[in-house]
Structure 1
Amino acid sequence: MSAPLTIIGSGMAGFGLARQLRNRDAERPITLITADGGDDYSKPLLSTGFAKRLSPERLVARPALQVAQDLNVTLRTHTFVDAIDTSSRSLQLGAETLAYDQLVLATGAAPTLPFTIPDELAERVMTVNDLDDYRRFHSSLAALQRPAKVVVVGTGLVGCEFADDLVAGGHSVSMVAPEEILLARLLPAELGRALGDAFLEAGIQLYCGTTVSFFWHEQGAVAVKLNGGDTLHADLVLVATGLRPRMTLAASAGLSVSPNGIVVDRYLETTVRGVFALGDVACVDGLNAMYVQPLQAGAKALAATLTGSPTLVNYGPWPIMVKTSLLPIVSLPPVESAVRWRTEGSGRDLAAFAESDDGQLQGFALTGDCVRRKVRLARLAPPLLG
């Protein structure tokens, strides 16, 4: 029996690629290896579950066994890959050696932690990056049997979406971050302040321009000391301070990596023939786009390449729709940093345009009723990777 095409990772990238491959080839042997339980779920729904009172089980679209049957793949769950030997085209799984024909790394990204979490607070200071994380956080909230006090560390996309969701779910939320405005990487200052005002009106406490110094356990709660001198008390702390591509396995195998991910070309092939990378872990021509639409475009292009039709990946000008019910937001951040922002609108219905020196639209950000303009503006913006 010939070695299978092997995918490491069962997130949106891994499962998305498997689905695209099956659309083109129903019979090719595929092995999918994952460190988690292998259930199929939509990761974006993790930050909407508390408002909707969704249990972890309700977030599962298909359990692992059904996924394996539907996609006709060998799905190995709770399995860790210790090493890749590209010369022999094999993986080391503990004492087992597993051969592969072609290999796709869809290992995603892991949360970054700017501080050390004391062992005694491991069940109270958490990150939520996958369904297993959501299960733990959901269980901890449910165990309180009352609305919780939650400190969210980080005011980026994940932090803001979870803060919005937790408040809608009836919990009390405080946010801490070194940035002075919310969503600083996606919004110009005026729009970030508008979101901050909406959060404040909803009762979210904002501690911007400061960082966490340390944590400790105090009378059944978590005490969070800020470097500005304040001390917050919470039932739980959710850390949302960014993601870093999981590249250790690739680097150990001799693949070229950069701070932005595993280095791949426009065919998503790494510096070793027959080994590819997809999704949050991939740096395509110097660009790492950790969003759903680029991931889907990559899965479709790579499936074509792996089935005999080499296809360059293209990332269109896809806006990011931020899931903040308190203030609708759409953002298309400019690829180039040398832009000037022009804002129009009033109140919280704002449209900001990132323009080059010659007035060409490079990106935009919209809040409130202005989000309705996203489709028309996206047609005018340049692609992320064309």
Structure 2
Amino acid sequence: MSHIVVVGAGQAGASLVAKLRNEGFDGEITLIGEETAPPYQRPPLSKAYLLGDMELERLYLRPESFYADQNISLRLGAHVSAIDPAAKTLTVDGETLAYDQLALTTGSTPRRLPAAIGGALDGVYVVRGLSDVDAMEPEFGEGKRVLIIGGGYIGLEAAAVAAKKGLNVTLVEMADRILQRVASPETSDYFRALHTAHGVNILEGTGLTRLIGDTRVTGAELSDGTILEIDFALVGVGIAPATALAEAAGLTLDNGIMTDAHGRTSDAHIWAAGDCASFPYRDGRIRLESVPNAIDQAEIVAQNMLGKAVEYTAKPWFWSDQYDVKLQIAGLNTGYDRVVTRKGEKDGAVSFWYYGGQTLLAVDAANDPRAYMIGKRLIEAGKSPAPELVADPATELKALMSA
């Protein structure tokens, strides 16, 4: 009987094993995860779960009984230390496990501050897993002073939760503006105003020199010489693909585990999906850090492990929840040279449309689901309405589809 092993029990791993059974695979499946919790959603961790608005069980992607019911061996709290592609085995907590096909859905790991500048002090947290959020939750007391390092979406979402819980929040961003790497100045301006209105002190163009403290963080020295007194710190300076296992096994890396359009790595019997995998996209390669990509790519890989030979065509979309604002992003804005702002029908709704020349590349829609849906459909259909039409409030959104 064929044995498929999946290493990484996150969104991609859980989607992959479910799809294998859905496609009729009746062989042996083993899903291995380092965490002790069954596969769960990550996006609500730093928002609804940290706020206390979501119970632990509601985080789970499926009831734990699902895996037993589907005859999937779920090995939690297990560490894979090595893969031997020649022997088609892997080492799990000292035990040798044989596979016929292997999928790596190892996800990503948060970048941490160096110990030399205080990154190892108590009271310094990253937002990634359930244990991270459980550890920091007691810190979120009203009136506490938190320093958030990094003005990307992770940092801003954490700032929103902290502000809603009544903390004194300072956020530092080394770049000239928040969201500089991922969004337009217009989107940055929107979210800066939102956070400022909620009392968050945002310091842009300001780096962290060091965190201060003997064993626990008590303060921070900023690049402009300012000394802050703080109760704890949250680090949101990005994530890196978890590729150590693949690299040690000799698989080819390229900003993640390199796969072909089917999700197959440089080894014929090993596949990869989710945050850890880079794949062909348009004229180059890309790695996407998003839940939709993890699900879609994993399901394609599951089909291809069963011989379907389906190419993965990414349709990038993302979201971010901050306060009462839901930001929905369609497409990728890489290479944009113009941003068109369109006011939505409801108060506070706005969308930012990214163009490269006359080509629509992406849409950031804040509390404007209709603009997001129309923008997404246009991008996926390869249609680009004239920027002037988009900017004109008299233009009906639906009319853009036929423009």
What TM-score results when the alignment is normalised by the length of structure 1?
A: 0.89
Code of the aligned partner of 2:299: K
Q: Is the 8 A contact 2:124 2:217 kept in 1?
A: no
Q: Which residue of 2 aligns with 1:131?
A: 130
What is the deviation of 1:119? 7.5
What is the deviation of 1:134? 1.4
Q: Which residue of 2 aligns with 1:204?
A: 200
What is the deviation of 1:150? 1.6
Q: Aligned equivalents of 2:222 and 2:381: distance in 1?
A: 40
- The CA deviation string for residues 291-323 of structure 1, in whole angstroms up to 9 with x for no partner, is 11111111221121122322111112x432211
Q: Aligned equivalents of 1:65 and 1:364: distance in 2?
A: 37
Q: Which residue of 1 aligns with 2:373?
A: 375
Q: Is the 8 A contact 1:31 1:76 kept in 2?
A: yes
Aligned pair count?
A: 376
Q: Aligned equivalents of 2:108 and 2:137: distance in 1?
A: 21
Q: Which residue of 2 aligns with 1:261?
A: 256
Q: Aligned equivalents of 2:200 and 2:29: distance in 1?
A: 47
* Higher mean C-alpha displacement, 120-129 vs 74-83: 120-129
Q: Secondary structure at the match of 1:32?
A: strand
Q: Aligned equivalents of 1:8 and 1:219: distance in 2?
A: 35
Q: Aligned equivalents of 1:120 and 1:297: distance in 2?
A: 35
Q: Which residue of 2 aligns with 1:12?
A: 11
Task: Give the 3 Å change call, closer, same or farther, for CA 252–287 of structure 1 in structure 2.
Answer: same
- The CA deviation string for residues 310-357 of structure 1, in whole angstroms up to 9 with x for no partner, is 2111112x4322111254422235354253323344996443222122
Q: Which residue of 2 aligns with 1:215?
A: 211
What is the deviation of 1:96? 1.9
* Alignment pair present for 1:310 and 2:313: no
Task: Give the 3 Å change call, closer, same or farther, for CA 131–71 of structure 1 in structure 2.
Answer: farther
Q: Secondary structure at the match of 2:302?
A: helix
Q: Which residue of 2 aligns with 1:46?
A: 45
Q: Is the 8 A contact 1:153 1:237 kept in 2?
A: yes
Q: Which residue of 1 aligns with 2:356?
A: 356
- The CA deviation string for residues 42-62 of structure 1, in whole angstroms up to 9 with x for no partner, is 111112136642477355437
What is the deviation of 1:41? 1.9
Task: Give the 3 Å change call, closer, same or farther, for CA 152–56 of structure 1 in structure 2.
Answer: farther
Q: Aligned equivalents of 1:156 and 1:279: distance in 2?
A: 20
Q: Aligned equivalents of 1:59 and 1:236: distance in 2?
A: 28
Q: Aligned equivalents of 1:46 and 1:306: distance in 2?
A: 31
Task: Give the 3 Å change call, closer, same or farther, for CA 353–73 of structure 1 in structure 2.
Answer: same
Task: Give the 3 Å change call, closer, same or farther, for CA 70–138 of structure 1 in structure 2.
Answer: farther
Task: Give the 3 Å change call, closer, same or farther, for CA 129–115 of structure 1 in structure 2.
Answer: same
Q: Is the 8 A contact 2:118 2:211 kept in 1?
A: no
Q: Aligned equivalents of 1:66 and 1:202: distance in 2?
A: 42
Q: Which residue of 2 aligns with 1:270?
A: 265
Percent identity for Structure 1 against Structure 2: 23
1:1-386 → structure 2 map (5 Å cutoff): 2=1, 4-25=3-24, 27-49=26-48, 52-54=51-53, 57-61=56-60, 66-116=65-115, 122-141=121-140, 146-217=142-213, 222-258=218-254, 260-285=255-280, 286-316=285-315, 318-332=316-330, 334=332, 336-345=334-343, 349-357=349-357, 359-368=358-367, 370-382=368-380
Q: Aligned equivalents of 2:181 and 2:22: distance in 1?
A: 36
Q: Is the 8 A contact 1:187 1:331 kept in 2?
A: no
What is the deviation of 1:381? 1.0
What is the deviation of 1:215? 0.9
Q: Is the 8 A contact 1:186 1:333 kept in 2?
A: no
Task: Give the 3 Å change call, closer, same or farther, for CA 186–298 of structure 1 in structure 2.
Answer: same
* Higher mean C-alpha displacement, 330-339 vs 108-117: 330-339
Where relative contact order (Cα < 8 A, 6+ residues apart) is larger, the structure is 1
Task: Give the 3 Å change call, closer, same or farther, for CA 163–310 of structure 1 in structure 2.
Answer: same
Task: Give the 3 Å change call, closer, same or farther, for CA 117–150 of structure 1 in structure 2.
Answer: farther
What TM-score results when the alignment is normalised by the length of structure 2?
A: 0.85
Runs of 4+ more than 6 Å apart = 117-120
Task: Give the 3 Å change call, closer, same or farther, for CA 203–375 of structure 1 in structure 2.
Answer: same
Q: Aligned equivalents of 2:340 and 2:314: distance in 1?
A: 25
Q: Is the 8 A contact 1:156 1:240 kept in 2?
A: yes
Q: Is the 8 A contact 1:32 1:76 kept in 2?
A: yes
Q: Aligned equivalents of 2:142 and 2:359: distance in 1?
A: 52
Q: Is the 8 A contact 1:51 1:169 kept in 2?
A: no
What is the deviation of 1:216? 1.6
Q: Aligned equivalents of 1:327 and 1:136: distance in 2?
A: 27
Q: Is the 8 A contact 1:160 1:183 kept in 2?
A: no
Give the gaps of 5 or more residues in structure 1: none
Q: CA RMSD in A?
A: 2.7
Give the gaps of 5 or more residues in structure 2: 383-403
Q: Aligned equivalents of 2:82 and 2:312: distance in 1?
A: 28
Task: Give the 3 Å change call, closer, same or farther, for CA 333–225 of structure 1 in structure 2.
Answer: farther
